[in-house]
Amino acid sequence: MEPKKREYVSDEQLKQYFPDLPTGKLDDYRKKASFDWRRMKLVYDDLESIDLKHRIWKFFEETPVFKHADKSVSLDEERHIAIKRMYSVQNEAFLPIDKLVMNPQCYEAETEAMFMYDSSMTVKLSLTFRMCSNVIRGNGRPVHSQILDDLESGEIGGCFALTEVAHGSNAKGMRTTATYVPEKKQFVIHTPDFEAAKFWVGCLGKCATHAILYAMLYSEGKNHGLHMFVVPIRDPKTLKPYPGVTVGDIGEKIGLNGIDNGFVMFDNYHVSKDAALDKLGGVDDDGNYMTPFKDPNKRFGASMGILSGGRVHITTISTAYLQKAIVIATRYSAVRRQFGPDDSSEEMPVLEYQQQQIRLLPYLASTYAMRIFCNWFSEAHVTMVINGYAGADDNAANRGVEMHALSSAVKPVFGWAARDGIQNCRECCGGHGYLKAAGIGDLRNDNDANCTYEGENSLLLQQTSRWLLSVWAARGRINPADYPYGTLTFLNGADKVLADKCRWSSTKEMVDPANLVYMYKWLTAFTLKQTAEKTERLKKAGKDDFQTRNETQSYNAVALSIVYGENAILNHFYKTVLEFEDVKCKNVLLKLVSLYGAFILEKHLATLYIGGFLSGSQGVLLREGILELCAAVCPEAVALADTLAPPDFCLKSVLGQSDGEAYKHIQSSVMTYPESMSRPAWWRDVIHWRTYVPSKL
């Protein structure tokens, strides 16, 4: 988890990408800032990632199909736009593989730029081309090279069909079957009933021609478990489904409606034996099952490994959404004035109100913590995958285990932080935040998917806690090399830390970054200990493993994984900031570390008392410390938002534009909304309502 060393970037280079912001209503706050908003970008970006984002946004701004619509369009039109945008972007090839290998951070930058503009298009791009290619590359054989070429050239379009109607989380309960018929050298794919239909499959609703399908492999009457197949769904020349395939669209969702999520059922559908992506296990021509793994669970685990990439990806997606929301709400709070001191005729910006600050500024700090973490995390994951292809990592197994545990913890932490942060931003914008043109509602609706897909949050957290429980007993004998991402350092001297008590008596000490890091170490160790002890107690009382796990979920295992994830994020944030060269930026960032750490720790304040770390009214110091930090960060807030902001056309919010002219943008938006000022076509139904209401006779 070491912060990245970056090359020096000059002010001139930065100004080429980021011209001066328009002067106006935000000037006062911008002048108050103690640092350079452009240089601040370098705490998470480098020149290459900045350049990539710049090129992508420029392309969007200049390409007609990326123009914003005047008003919401139909579901069908949303899909149509998403597909046209997707092919346009794919055709640009912004990030060729050689560039990616040279600078894996660019992967994250690309994701960020695209998700900030159009999340549906970006998901489709990733599913149609990349995910399928990755799966085939990792699990296929030479015979699949043609299909790989066709995918990558856009001749065909893929999708990833795992989830069934009645089984999502419990992958082992899937019921789609692939039965091998040696006489024909074919598999027969079959869906027993609608509950086993593949469902939620992104890009399958209208477009995909091929699916990566997970099905139970049967051969010689025996079920060999879940295996992957690449299965033709629709004719790439006509987009009509093949006989034996019932495929359709699952209709509207809460958000992400540009994605054509679909369902598919197979009626004894025959496919060639080569459909099997069987590098990790499968049948030979005669139907004999072979696998390089001795333990079938290991094969299953390896075949599901692709999903951890999805979780890492979601940390970036959640951050991109929150980042937009916090920019909108911060800027608008700085120009929105309401009430004021008794002796003043001038109203005060709502950002100056304590209750507005405490709802916004901790999320502004969170956005920095998350942006810094997910950039590192995405890069670490891409590096792991690349090294995996190259066989270059001798610590790959340990890396994989820790990555799995960490991603299962931080995906929920990020998804929920974005959920709560976006909601606070929405409410902090008052009534106007409820306008669709404010842009926050769509962010919430898109982010909502992050809380349940790629593993429902509460369930994922339990995967992490199982692993943490397994290392608790060995806490004195941890070998750092076995945990290459360093997320278990909180176990160093855990017993000694747990015997410690709070020795601080001022707000300043209480929110000092190093002390917060120390308290998080205590909290993580304590929550693990508490969960381990409850587990022990229940087992002694005769409960089996399943019952014990069930009865240690809430306040224990789930809380444990959350604090473990938060601990990793906080530590990485602090380390990164300590190493940042720009002194002015660093001073502000240290405040953000304090604010972030204190804010997330406050949610666990009761646990700090329960475990005896705090006593008396010490908790008040933490709360007062948060309020003081909010007041200290307030003058920096607009500049901090400027650093995070995408270009105005990408932000697309009447409230959050960089000129601070929220009311003018509202005016322009409502005045030009189609038919805003015209009489409705159905005006007679208002006046002559008696002609159609049900008769009372």
Nearer to a second copy, 171 or 578 (CB): 171
Binding to a second copy (CB under 8 A) within 529-588 occurs at 544-547, 550-555, 558
Token digits for 465?
Answer: 């806690």
Question: Taking a C-beta distance cutoff of 8 angstroms, is the pair 274, 144 a contact?
Answer: yes
Q: Does 427 bind a second copy (CB under 8 A)?
A: yes
The residue with tokens 């278990």 is 488
Token digits for 166?
Answer: 């009645």
Report the nearest approach of a second copy to the CB of residue 290 (Å).
28
Burial environment of residue 636 by CB neighbours within 10 A (0 to 12, 13 to 18, 19 or more): buried
Report the nearest approach of a second copy to the CB of residue 287 (Å).
26
Nearer to a second copy, 180 or 467 (CB): 467
Nearer to a second copy, 282 or 565 (CB): 565
Pick from 675, 649, 653: nearest CA to 665: 653
> What is the pairing mode between strands 177-181 and 210-219?
parallel
Nearer to a second copy, 14 or 666 (CB): 666
3-class secondary structure, 4 = coil
Q: Does 498 bind a second copy (CB under 8 A)?
A: no
Pick from 13, 56, 72: nearest CA to 38: 13
| Active-site residue flag, 454 | yes
d(CA 80, CA 454): 25
Binding to a second copy (CB under 8 A) within 587-626 occurs at 602, 605-607, 609-612, 614-617, 619-620, 623
Range list of H helices, 118-201: 119-125, 132-139, 145-153
Task: Please give the size of the binding site for a second copy, defined by CB under 8 A.
Answer: 138
- Binding mask of the shown chain, residues 15 to 34, with x at each position contacting a second copy by CB under 8 A: --------------------
The residue with tokens 């159905």 is 682
The values of phi and psi at residue 608, to 5°, are: -65, -30
Report the nearest approach of a second copy to the CB of residue 178 (Å).
22
Report the nearest approach of a second copy to the CB of residue 167 (Å).
7
- Binding mask of the shown chain, residues 350 to 389, with x at each position contacting a second copy by CB under 8 A: --xxxxxxxx------------------------------
Nearer to a second copy, 389 or 683 (CB): 683
Beta-ladder partners of 265: 246
Helix (H) or strand (E) holding 117: helix 105-117
Ramachandran assignment for 200, one of left (phi > 0), alpha (psi -120 to 50 degrees), beta (any other):
left
Report the nearest approach of a second copy to the CB of residue 247 (Å).
7
Q: Does 173 bind a second copy (CB under 8 A)?
A: yes
Report the nearest approach of a second copy to the CB of residue 248 (Å).
4
d(CA 421, CA 363): 6
Edge-first strand order for the sheet with 198-201 is: 198-201, 262-266, 245-249
Q: Does 675 bind a second copy (CB under 8 A)?
A: yes
Q: Does 463 bind a second copy (CB under 8 A)?
A: no
DSSP per residue over 673-687, as a string? STTTTSPPTTTHHHH
Nearer to a second copy, 239 or 514 (CB): 239
Q: Does 693 bind a second copy (CB under 8 A)?
A: yes
Question: Taking a C-beta distance cutoff of 8 angstroms, is the pair 442, 435 a contact?
Answer: no
Encoded amino acid at 489, one letter: T
Report the nearest approach of a second copy to the CB of residue 547 (Å).
7
- Binding mask of the shown chain, residues 621 to 650, with x at each position contacting a second copy by CB under 8 A: --x---x-----------------------
The values of phi and psi at residue 574, to 5°, are: -60, -45
Q: Does 148 bind a second copy (CB under 8 A)?
A: no
Q: Which of 6, 9, 24, 88 binds a second copy (CB under 8 A)?
A: 88
Nearer to a second copy, 627 or 632 (CB): 627
Binding to a second copy (CB under 8 A) within 177-236 occurs at 194-195, 200, 206-207, 236
Report the nearest approach of a second copy to the CB of residue 71 (Å).
7
Q: Given 78, 164, 379, 454, which residue is catalytic?
A: 454
Q: Which residues are catalytic?
A: 454
